[in-house]
Amino acid sequence: MARVELRHITKTFRGLVALDGLSLDIGDGEFFVLLGPTGAGKTTALRLIAGLDAPDAGSILIGGQDVGTWSAAQRDVALVFQYYSLYPHYTVRENLEFPLKSKHRRMGASEIADRVARAARTLRIEHLLERQTDRLSGGEMQRVSIGRAIVRQPRIFLMDEPLSSLDAKLREILRAELKDLQMRLGATFLYVTHDQVEAMSMGDRIAVLNRGRIVQVGTPHQIYNEPRDTFVATFVGSPAMNLLGGTIRDGRLVVVPGRLEVQIRKDLAGRSGPVTLGVRSEDVAVGPGGGLEGQVYAVEDLGVEKIVTLKLNEHLVKATVSAQMAVEADSTVGFAFDPGKLQFFDARSGVRLDPVNGEAATATPGHT
């Protein structure tokens, strides 16, 4: 168990910048998630910490010590990948024992047996110990992969999309199991994913990465409710936050003159010109007397709720409504935005306009 610090890490591959001055501080015992689209640099960061690659510049500290010159083995971290790297002709028990039997560990047989038994109990795979790994289901195989990491009792667990090759239902189950596991072990987890639901549901904190840079670090609640820019706002949350381009005129943000205008926050009163309005689908109320009017473009019944897409001129706005609400496609309905939940972004940079001072947030992201 250890704290992990990344300081101004830069990494390029054949002239392409994969990581650009990345700084992170991951607390001891924290479940920390690196979230971003393909190519954001998440896996690169993980490999640098593991010691599988070396950074071009910057330093990596584990437990306060600079590990720049340490080998992967010396760093004492465990990696779990998307695809299970198990020995197919061996039993689950043999797979779990393997990392403990390496020569430089010199571990006694009873210690090995004890650690395997504990890991198997933790992961609820005791009944599978004598089974060959090629006879396991995907979920069981991934549990064994995680077991191989646990038996080593590493200082840090690094996980690279460990659930993404599993089906939706299994992912959902293992999500909760992994979170539970991390809490019970009290271990430092660094978890890489492109799936915002995984990030939100498991992370103590999330770092959102895009193009090799950190856009925002925060708790799931902060990331969702105070996204730093339009990238975070639309990457996190489903449906994606509605974004509407408008212009501030006389204290109002005008998206469609006369038809879609909202009162701006007091602190933005001095501003003029183009601003992007952001509103989440659950903050759009559909019903008469809303003040706004749109045509129902599509209705999606998800069972637990409905997502209604409203069309107003060329703009599409998604609203989450109760599953019981009757909404006719092509009909005209009233709707309203929750005035307290509106977000405003700089139209050019996409950066959120801070509610306190009305200026674009300027604090350096990364360190918190």
Partner 1 sequence: MADILLRDVEKHFGDNYIIRKLNLEIRHREFLVLLGPSGCGKTTTLRAIAGLETIDGGEILIDGQAVQRRRAAERDIAFVFQLFALYPHLTAYDNIAFPLRARKEPRNAVERQVREVARTLRIEALLDKRPSALSGGDMQRVAIGRALVRRPKALLMDEPIGALDAKLREEMRAELKHIHRQNEATTVYVTHDQVEAMAMADRIAIMDAGVLQQVGSPGDVYQHPANLFVAQFVGSPIMNVLPAAVRRGDGYTSLVLGEDDAILRFPGALYAEVVERRPTDGPLAVGIRPEGVLVSRQALDGYVPLEAHIVEPLGPYDIVDLKLGRRLLRCRTASRYVERAGDTVWARLDEKQTHFFDPRTGESLDIRL
Q: Enumerate binding residues for partner 1 (CB under 8 A).
A: 37, 167-169, 172-173, 175-176, 179-180, 183, 195-197, 200-202, 220-221, 224, 234-240, 280, 282, 297-304, 307, 309, 316, 318, 320, 323, 329-330
Minimum gap (Å) between residue 191 Cβ and partner 1: 14
In this structure, are residues 244 and 315 in contact, taking their beta carbons and an 8 Å threshold?
A: yes
Nearer to partner 1 (CB atom), residue 53 or residue 305: 305
Minimum gap (Å) between residue 112 Cβ and partner 1: 29
Minimum gap (Å) between residue 343 Cβ and partner 1: 13
In this structure, are residues 343 and 357 in contact, taking their beta carbons and an 8 Å threshold?
A: no
Nearer to partner 1 (CB atom), residue 180 or residue 359: 180
Nearer to partner 1 (CB atom), residue 95 or residue 182: 182
Rounded Cα distance, 192 and 178, in Å: 13
Minimum gap (Å) between residue 195 Cβ and partner 1: 8
**Which residues does residue 216 pair with via DSSP β-bridges, in sequence order?**
208
Name, in order, each residue with C-beta under 8 angstroms of 351's C-beta and a sequence gap of 6 or more: 228, 229, 345, 360, 361
In this structure, are residues 75 and 50 in contact, taking their beta carbons and an 8 Å threshold?
A: yes
Minimum gap (Å) between residue 282 Cβ and partner 1: 4
- Does the N-terminal peptide bond of residue 99 adopt cis geometry, omega within 30 degrees of 0? no
Q: What are phi and psi of 225, to 5 degrees?
A: -95, -20
Nearer to partner 1 (CB atom), residue 10 or residue 225: 225
Identify the CA nearest to 26 among candidates 148, 150, 157, 149: 157
Minimum gap (Å) between residue 281 Cβ and partner 1: 8
Integer-rounded Cα Rg, in Å, for the chain is 24
Minimum gap (Å) between residue 89 Cβ and partner 1: 26
Minimum gap (Å) between residue 277 Cβ and partner 1: 18
> DSSP 3-state assignment of 214?
strand
**Which residues does residue 296 pair with via DSSP β-bridges, in sequence order?**
310
Identify the CA nearest to 131 among candidates 140, 142, 118, 122: 140
> DSSP 3-state assignment of 211?
coil
Nearer to partner 1 (CB atom), residue 237 or residue 366: 237
> DSSP 3-state assignment of 169?
helix
Nearer to partner 1 (CB atom), residue 57 or residue 176: 176
Nearer to partner 1 (CB atom), residue 41 or residue 99: 41
Nearer to partner 1 (CB atom), residue 53 or residue 282: 282
